[in-house]
Amino acid sequence: MVDWQSLKFEIRERWKDLAIRKRINSNRRAVIIITNLSVIILIIVIISSFRNKEAVQVNNPKMDWYYDLNTGDLFAAKAGRIPPIEAPSGPLPNGAPAGVRAYVFSYVAEPNESERIIGFLETKDPNYTHDDRDSTRYGEGMLIKRLKDKQWFPSVSLQGRAIFQQAIIPNENGETPYYYPPK
């Protein structure tokens, strides 16, 4: 059995025997050299952290996925459009555009059609009135829903955030899906 008290005492006594700190502190020249080396290393680290900083290239897709509410099919259209937009199948029975934004995810880099997952759909809230002073949150004025849902929810509501979080849940292998833009 190890006697911890005597081991701690032994380590403490041997540390005192080394007395490196005392030797360094008693030698003024050693203190100056160590201080200067520390400052030089710090300067090198700071300079190297600022050098060779390349801007991260973000590829903003030129196209976004949209979902045709009449047919249930995905289609690509120019990125950045605010849904609802015109769909290939024409308008809804009430005359409104049938194209809503679809957020498509995948667990593989180049998914085939069966490996693409529609995480949720998004459209503009027709009852929302935009006021720049009040609207600073991402997704303000937008409604989202899952494919199987009948009801749309404000994207900034608890239900909306739950839909978004459910769309990016890791699979059984612990992999998080990533957004898959149209080609």
* Residue 44 pLDDT exceeds 70: yes
Look at residue 171 and tell me if it is in a domain.
yes
- Residue span of the structural domain in which 115 resides: 63-179
Give pLDDT tens digits for 93-140.
Answer: 999 999 999 999 999 888 888 889 999 999 998 888 766 545 556 778
Q: Are residues 145 and 89 in the same domain?
A: yes
b/e for 43-69, b at 16 or more Cβ within 10 A?
A: eeeeeeeeeeeeeeeeeeeeebbbbbb
Outline where 19-85 has alpha helix (H): 20-26, 28-50
In this structure, are residues 124 and 84 in contact, taking their beta carbons and an 8 Å threshold?
A: yes
Task: Please state, in angstroms and rounded to a whole number, the distance separating the CA atoms of residues 148 and 151.
Answer: 9
**pTM of structure:** 0.65
Peptide bond connecting 84 to the previous residue in cis, omega within 30 degrees of 0: yes
Q: Are residues 69 and 43 in the same domain?
A: no
Q: Are residues 31 and 74 in the same domain?
A: no
Look at residue 58 and tell me if it is in a domain.
no
Which strand (E) or helix (H) includes residue 100?
A: strand 99-106
How many structural domains is the chain composed of?
A: 2
Structure tokens at 73: 């099919």
Q: Are residues 92 and 158 in the same domain?
A: yes
- Best-predicted range by mean pLDDT (9-18, 27-36, 44-53, 172-181): 172-181
Q: Are residues 25 and 67 in the same domain?
A: no
φ, ψ for residue 10 (rounded to 5)?
A: -60, -45
Q: Are residues 42 and 113 in the same domain?
A: no
pLDDT grade for 17, boundaries at 50, 70 and 90: low
Q: Are residues 99 and 135 in the same domain?
A: yes
